[in-house]
Structure 1
Amino acid sequence: MRIGAFLLAAQFPGRDHTSVLESTLAAAVAAERAGFDDVWLAEHHFMSYGVCPSAVTMAGFVLGRTERIGVGTATSVLSTQHPVALAEQANLLDQLSGGRFRLGVGRGGPWVDLEVFGTGLERYERGFPESLEVLLAALRGGRMRADGATFGFREVEIVPGPRTRPHPPVVVAATSDSTLELAARLGLPMLLGMDRVPAEHAARIAAHDRAAEAAGHGRAGHVLASLAHVADTREQARKVVLDALPRWLGPGLAGYVPVDGRARAPKDPREYARFLCDAHAVDSPQGCVERLVEQARTSGAAELILMVEAAGEPAAVLENVTRLGAEVLPAVRAALD
């Protein structure tokens, strides 16, 4: 059981971009010291929900500041960038890090990003399968060409090729049935979000595994995101999260602006914060262990990545990372390994 830290570069009220990004880097370095296996970095545009617009760039910086820990993107959005350019960057990080880089990709959403970057709604609504297949071909290195509806180019040599064969590890954020089926057909594991309970994730993993088997692939090692905040008691942990999280979620979630004016019903920040506390590991050390073990066993996920920034304040986040590493992770591993 691999356990990673999930960093959104969340901008809580009263903090500037420099403070957020510096504390995100500090949390990543602290995660290595605390014994996490990986650190995963989110990518967002034009919003305070997360102020890292390039997870790959941030991953490169974190790889340079660490020695052991795996570093992944959760996720790099394919609908707003060229898949070959992303593959070149991923292979470069794979080479220079000695194979510590992992590439998480997603379709993204129908947001204003599509307008700003000029890729358009068509790339989001119908272009993801082609984008993902071009990405995988480029990640393998060597010579390739494309003759698709969106990407068409003459044969070129992809340099550098990957250090990890056949390509750096890839996971796919799958919130829809169509993306689940695509990941299964390509033999890729899913990255599952924090907005569902373990039984729902179990059903999605089972559906993926059936489709993957039908396509001739073995069982994939799926990655499950979970919020984790530890304190001396459950009451203390919940108070910290319920006080801090809505202040970030309110303006953060409002940053998702549809590109085409479609109606959108945003989550209520207080209700969503309560759901996250109820569904995830917000508890005493022993309570966090029990919840994380239950999430892993019920869902069938092979890896957990823990969103550790719910307290908001940099010192509190670092304390949470340290305590999770010392008081929670060893017991979770012992129970699951």
Structure 2
Amino acid sequence: MKIALLHYMGAYAEGVPTGWPVSGRWWNADRGRDALARSWKLVDMAVASGFDMVTVTEHHYTNESVAPNPVIMGAALSQRYPDVKIGMLGPTLPLWNPVRLAEDIATVDMLSGGRTLLGLFRGTPTEHMAMVPASADTRALHNEAFDLLLRCWTAEEPFSWHGEHYDFDTVAVWPRPLQYPHPPIFVAGTRAEVCEDAARRHLSVGLHALAGPPAVNAKLAQRYRAAAEAAGWTPTAEDVLWRARVYVADSDEAAQADIKEHGVGDQLRGMVPSDPEELKALDKRWAAANDGVGLTHMRERSASRMVPDMAGSPETVVKQFLAAHEEIGFGIADLRFDGITVPFEKISRSLELFSREVLPAIRSELARRGDAAVASPGGSVR
């Protein structure tokens, strides 16, 4: 079992209205610098406490992060933390030139000594609205970019690419990743057919608690493993990643009070425009890309689950984690502790309690159950 810290790096809400997109007039350089410094403190704590990985993601036009580029942040993390794996989970493919991305990821993998993991995601319509023309077919963009990226790392000779969305007379990516032929790749397992396609490609799958309770992700994991077996291979536990939000307090009552006061579990809050017309436009794009489900509908549908996926006292969170692990069978837990509306001291305390009380208990119980992958490596900070 590997434990990863998913961190958005530099979220700050002081003096900034909640909503998307965040106007540039609210930017304050000193607050942005201080927010990033606070983020480093949290990651330092996680690494020193024995987390196995640090993962970063891509979000634009939002004060949830001052580091929207996961590849740049991955390079920075790889140099600050020499002993843990770095997850770029991940680049939103429709927003990138896939050839340039292939070079950049290869460079970070070299810089890290081959310690990277990669998520290649389609992303949300909010990200598409930031940088992709409204008329673009983001699913087709993602699929072609995905295939081209893999070709960049596996082709033995220069090649040309003349596709529907990308057109290059000459492609010859140099350097290549240190990991051959590329770092472990996770695809977003949001639907059964995506999980099955990942299995046929011998790729890993990333599940998200936002899709539903553990039972929902357990079914997706089962479809993934069955498709892999049909394709002639058996995934390891670490081919299944589960991303979830965690909030630990001194007691269940304290956790519930903080959740109510600070909206800890509202994962879509930072994506909702404050302007009604912008919300209509974004709703339309979400519906077109999300099987007819708009952002407003999705948020309403998730209202009953707008609490962290694991929340409560250390004892309660241990039980929740072990139950989810037993049901889903994931080998990597990608855990997010931060939130744009949550005070820093609350986030820090939650991570401290998880590191000091939850993590050792989880590892002890999994070791007792015979999980051979359990380890407590710790890490160092440069």
TM-score interval, normalised by the smaller of the two chains: 0.7 to 0.9
Q: Give the structure 1 partner of residue 220 of structure 2.
A: 204
Task: Determine if contact 1:137/1:144 at 8 Å carries over to the other structure.
Answer: no
Query: Residue 283 of structure 2 contacts residue 296 of structure 2 at CA under 8 Å; is this kept in 1?
Result: no
In the alignment, is residue 332 of structure 1 matched against residue 362 of structure 2?
Answer: yes
Distance 1:283 1:135, change over 3 A: same
Out of 286, 297, 317, the position equivalent to 2:347 is 317
Partner of 1:282: 311
In terms of mean alpha carbon deviation, does 16-25 or 261-270 score higher?
261-270
RMSD between aligned alpha carbons?
Answer: 2.9
Structure 1 residues 267 and 236: alpha-carbon distance in aligned structure 2, compared to 1, 3 A threshold: farther
Partner of 1:90: 105
1:201 is paired with a residue whose SS is helix
C-alpha distance 154-307 of structure 1, shift in aligned 2 (>3 A): same
Which residue is 2:246 aligned to?
A: 228
**Structure 1 counterpart of 2:148, which letter?**
V
1:20 equivalent in structure 2: 35
2:230 to 205, 210, 214: 214
Q: Is the 8 A contact 1:191 1:223 kept in 2?
A: yes
> Number of paired residues?
335
CA drift of 1:252 comes to 0.7
- 8 Å CA contact 1:80–1:117 kept in 2: the answer is yes
What letter is aligned with 1:300? G
Offset of residue 324 of structure 1: 1.3
Q: Tell me how far 1:121 sits from its aligned partner.
A: 4.5
How far apart are 1:101 and its partner, in Å?
A: 1.7
Check the 8 A contact 1:241/1:273 in 2, yes or no: no
Identity of aligned residues (%): 27
Secondary structure of the residue aligned to 1:158 is coil
Partner in structure 2 of residue 134 of structure 1: 148
Contact kept, 8 Å, 2:89 with 2:117, in 1: the verdict is no
Q: Is the 8 A contact 1:11 1:17 kept in 2?
A: yes
The 1-side partners of 2:299 and 2:91 are apart by: 25
**Alpha carbons of structure 1 residues 335 and 78: separation in structure 2 relative to 1, 3 Å:** same
Distance 1:100 1:44, change over 3 A: same
Which residue does 2:328 correspond to in 1? Answer: 299
The one-letter code of the counterpart of 2:356 is A
Relative to the length of structure 2, the TM-score reads 0.78
TM-score (norm 1): 0.87
Answer whether contact 1:114 1:259 (CA < 8 A) is retained.
no
Q: Deviations over 1:72-103 (max 9, x none)?
A: 12221001112221121111111111122211
The secondary structure found in structure 1 opposite 2:55 is strand
Matches of 2:71 and 2:179, distance apart in 1: 17
Shift of 1:193: 1.2
Q: Which of 201, 207, 217 is the matching residue for 1:192? A: 207
Report how far residue 313 of structure 1 moved. 2.2
- For structure 1, the 5+ residue unaligned runs are none
Query: What residue ranges of structure 2 are gaps of 5+ in the alignment?
Result: 17-30, 288-293, 372-382
After superposition, residues 93-132 of structure 1 pair within 5 angstroms as 93-111=108-126, 113-114=127-128, 117-118=131-132, 121-132=135-146
Aligned to 1:68: 83
**What letter corresponds to residue 122 of structure 1 in structure 2?**
A
Bigger Cα Rg: 2
* Counterpart among 27, 38, 42 of residue 53 in structure 2: 38
Distance 1:130 1:144, change over 3 A: farther
Q: Is this contact kept in 2: 1:194–1:276, CA < 8 A?
A: no
